Amino acid sequence: MTMAIVVIVVTSALLAGAAWGLFGPLPKRIEGFLIATAGGALIVSVVTELVEPASENAPLTWVLAALMAGAIVFLGLDYVVKDKFGSGGGGLLAAITLDGIPENLALGVALIGAGPAQVASLAGSIFLSNLPEAAGGAKEMHGDGMSKARTFGLWSVAALLLAGSAIVGNLLLRSAPEEMLALIRSFAAGAVIASLGTEVFPQAYREDHLVAGFATALGFVLAYSLTALA
């Protein structure tokens, strides 16, 4: 049941975001506020749901090395995507997919042996992060001349890929050694941290610099409160 709920959360974030960007109003300040809130929540999730569990099952040097590898790989892929697709809606779609695959793979791994409350913080922050990014990306892609149907179809494919990553992480890695799961978590943590520094917080500041700091703190408080209840 928990796995089904998480798959719905992962999928609905991109679908609802794309629909919002194509058919609904999307004020820049609301978009920036939501992205900053998600960034604050992801800080908590990265530490409590990825790095800390990984450090309990693998040597610290391995954890830190895998984390840095995740950051380097994400930054390299992010550079290639922006060089090929630009920084518009298509580039954002590609970046979310590249970031989301290890992120959701780790989400599936985090479900192994965890209760719903322990995973809610990570799943919720991923939802809040992907929702406004998908809305902004879909809006830009339609503005560049792509039809609404094609735009929504591409975001639907991305949603299926990310949901599939979560399922793979949960089902195929269930019997994997704890050290391997720890390295996967660490690699995903590095990718998420890199995305925070290069995509999430810069975009939040551009869209709504006046309250970006407050929204980040709010996201942190909400995620930490949820984690404390687990």
CA 30, CA 35: separation in Å to the nearest integer? Answer: 9
pLDDT at 115: 63
CA 170, CA 104: separation in Å to the nearest integer? Answer: 10
C-beta separation of 179 from 62 below 8 A: yes
Domains contained in the chain, number: 1
pLDDT at 218: 92
Which residue range(s) make up the domain with 37?
2-229
**What are 8's two structure tokens?**
């719905």
- pTM for the full predicted model: 0.79
C-beta separation of 191 from 68 below 8 A: no
**What are 26's two structure tokens?**
């999307």
Q: For every one of its 230 residues, what pLDDT tens digit does the chain have, with 9 covering 90 and above?
A: 667 777 777 788 889 989 988 998 878 888 788 888 888 888 988 898 789 989 999 999 999 999 999 999 888 888 887 777 665 566 667 767 776 777 777 777 777 666 666 666 667 767 777 787 788 778 878 877 888 998 899 889 888 888 888 888 878 877 788 898 889 889 988 988 988 888 788 888 888 888 999 999 998 998 788 777 65
Rg from Cα positions in the chain: 17
C-beta separation of 65 from 179 below 8 A: no
pLDDT at 2: 66
Among the listed residues 149, 106, 154, 105, the one whose alpha carbon sits nearest the alpha carbon of residue 134: 154
pLDDT at 55: 94
C-beta separation of 117 from 228 below 8 A: no
